[in-house]
Each structure stands twice: as structure tokens, then as C-alpha cells.
Amino acid sequence: MPTRRGEPKKAAECLRTALRDYNLKFGTILNDPDLASLRASPEFKELQEEARLGGEDIGYSFRRDLKLISEVQAPFRGVRRFFYVAFSAAAGISLLFTVPRLFRAIKGGDGAPDIWETVGNAGINIGGIIVLVALFFWDNKKEEEQLAQISRNETLSRLPLRLSTNRIVELVQLRDTVRPVILAGKKESVSSALQKAERFRTELLRRGVLLVPVIWGEGRTPQVEKKGFGVSKKAATALPSIGEDFEKRAQSITAKSKLKAEIRFKAEVISLEEWERWIRDQQESEGVTPGEDVYIILRLDGRVRRSGKGMPDWSQIVQELPPMEALLSKLER
């Protein structure tokens, strides 16, 4: 049955219902190889944004998971908010007592408080409330930005790669083992960057660098079959099955050492459309025009270390990244 134009919309609607009524984990949607085509569509981007914000139409499970990660990364945000609210309330109560005094000071007469002192107290309270409320909303905005970044990181962690041994893995399985460097751009730019990287191959390997080239609109990714949203059978069987916990599997010492032996200097992206969508979303979040040549350096823990326009200066990266056996690399895991 050929893919119809309305299929992504219908599929997103079904997933929305499953998230709301059946407590489907959003991570399961990210893991499912049969949904690779859907994940590259605008409908999925809209679904993910709705899940991040939460609501009665889609449920709050994904947002709760994101907030738990956010609290680990920014543990004092809740404390700051408590003080914002407490000090705002104290300033508001003080202002309530100051207003009658201000009226008496304006009226004048015997026993009236000094008008300038009263106005000064009222101004301090009002200014304090304005500043604290502004800080509260600023913190909320920063939290939403952080949740959006965590959501993108979660999507990134589930993107598939083919290693030089032809084994297909998800990026999350390479955590603590390599520092992926994503090179996205036109074929000429990416090819030139790969050639220049060869001169620093030994030093980059010492730092755990794994090159991930993404050429806009090209690539040797497995073709999506014209049935529903599934990837090719070969790719689907190589990827782990639905609902498996990749993080726990990757923690196995035996699996880790075997995987490490298979990792070389460069990997090939699978499901190019998913990779392109993630990179374009990342570009939009950083104010870069989607589709420009960019590079993105990831940490050992899978988070974005830094990114930049154009292609990287490999000598600078060699100086910036510590060797894998260094203390800083151990702290980065």
C-alpha cells in the first residue's frame, strides 16, 4: 500500500491518543525503527513540541521525564523560585501596610508620616516586586529552553549510525566511549573537512573523536520502503526492538568492550532525513539559518559541547579536547 499524504497526520493523531490514554512513553516512539519516516516529518516535530509542553490532549509523562532531567542539571532552580515567591510576597505585604501610610502622608496633619520616606519605602517594595517577578519569568523561560534542548538531546541519542564493521547502533550506545563530531553541509565542504581531519587522525582518535558526516539531501542511507513508515527490513532487524532499554544494555562491560573494538574514525548515518531534521532544529535554536554548513561537537555523555558555522579547525579541536585517559575526560562521562 503506497504512502499517502495524510498518513503522517493520522499516525501522529494515533500516537497522541496513545500518549494521553495509554501512558505510552515518548522514548518508545523515539526507539521504534518502524517510525523512522514519521520522525522526519513536520507532524512529528509538532507532536514532540506538544509532548514537551504537556497538556490534557497529550498527557504530561514526557514533560515529567524532561523536568526530572532538568532538575538534575539545574538543581537550584526550585530553590531560587521559592525565594522569588517568598520575597515577592514579603514585599507585597509590606506594600499593603505602606499604602495607608502614604495616603496619611499626602493628607498631612498631626502625626502624619514623612511623605518622602513613605514614598521611598513604597518605591523600594514596588521595585523589588517588579525585579523578582521578572526574575521568576526569566527563570521559567530558561527552563523551557533547557527542556527543549533536553528533548533535542533525547532525539539525538536515538539516531542510528552504521559503524565501519557494518554494525548499526544508536548514538546513545556510544556514550562514554566516543565524542561524535557531526559535520553537516554540502558535499564539497564535508569532503574537504574529512580530508583535513585525516592529517590529525592519530590525535583525534586519542581524544575519542568519531566523525559523523551528514551531506544535505544525500547519503547512503537505507531507503524507506513505500509501506507505512517502516525502514528497510535490513535496517529494522539491525536496530534494537521496540521498548528495549538501550542504556542498560550499553552498560554491560562485555558489550561495551566489543562495541569499542568496532568503532573506527568515521561512521555513516542511517535515516538521513531524521538526522537532517535534528540538525535543522538545532540550527534554529541557535539562530543559524537552517541548511548552512555547520559542525556539532558532542561530549562523552552525549550532550552538545559546542557548535559553529562552517567546518571545524581540527588543530583547535585537538587542543580543546582532552585525551580519553585524562581526568577531564573521566569527569565528562
* Averaged pLDDT, 225-241: 44
Residue 318 banded pLDDT, cuts 50, 70, 90 = very high
Q: Which CATH number characterizes residue 284's domain?
A: 3.40.30
Neighbouring CB atoms inside 10 A of 189's CB total 20
In angstroms, the CA 325 to CA 333 distance is 12
- 132 and 169 co-located in one domain: no
Does residue 22 sit within a domain? yes
Same domain, 66 and 93: no
Instruction: Say if residues 94 and 118 touch (Cβ distance below 8 Å).
Output: no
Give the count of beta carbons closer than 10 Å to the beta carbon of residue 299.
Answer: 16
C-alpha cell of 161? 549510525
User: Number of folded domains in the chain?
Assistant: 3
The residue range of the domain holding 235 is 160-332
pLDDT tens, position by position, 249-267: 545 555 555 556 557 899 9
1 within some domain: no
Going by C-alpha positions, the residue among 297, 178, 187, 172 that lies closest to residue 245 is: 172
Over range 188-206, report the average pLDDT: 95
What was the pLDDT predicted at 288?
A: 87
pLDDT band at residue 248 under the 50/70/90 scheme: low
Whether residue 32 lies inside any domain: the answer is yes
Is residue 153 situated within a structural domain? no
| pLDDT, mean over the chain | 83
- Note whether 174 and 290 are same-domain residues: yes
Residues 280 and 178 reside in one and the same domain: yes
Is the residue at 311 inside a domain?
Answer: yes
- Given 119, 148, 177, the domain boundary residue is 148
- Residue 155, domain member (yes or no): no
Is residue 230's pLDDT more than 50? no
Q: Are residues 48 and 90 in the same domain?
A: no
Q: Is residue 212 part of a domain?
A: yes
Handedness of CA 121, 127, 130, 134 (dihedral sign): negative
Distance in angstroms (rounded) separating the CA atoms of residues 265 and 211: 6
Does residue 327 share a domain with residue 211?
Answer: yes
Quote the pLDDT of residue 258: 56
What backbone torsions phi and psi does residue 176 show, to the nearest 5 degrees?
Answer: 70, 0
Q: What is the pLDDT of residues 50-101, one digit of tens each?
A: 888 887 778 788 888 888 989 888 889 999 999 999 999 999 999 999 998 8
DSSP labels for 274-313? HHHHHHHHHHHHTTPPTTS-EEEEEPTTSSEEEEEES---
Q: Could you read off the pLDDT of 134-188 as tens digits, one per residue?
A: 999 999 999 999 999 899 988 898 899 999 888 889 899 999 999 999 999 999 9
Examine the domain organization and report whether 61 and 89 are in the same domain.
no
Block residue for cell numbers 520502503: 225
Across 37-41, 47-51, 79-83, 211-215, least confident range: 37-41
Could you tell me if 185 and 323 lie in one domain?
yes
Determine if the pTM surpasses 0.75.
no
pLDDT of residue 211: 96
Residues 6+ apart with CB under 8 A from 236: 33, 34, 230
Of 115, 148, 181, the position where a domain reaches its end is 148
Candidates 184, 183, 178, 182; CA nearest to 204 is 178
For residues 115 and 203, state if they share a domain: no
The three cell numbers of residue 3 are 504512502
Task: Determine, yes or no, domain membership for 2.
Answer: no
Indicate the range of 66-70, 100-104, 105-109 predicted with least confidence. 105-109
Q: Among 73, 100, 124, give the residue marking a domain's end.
A: 73
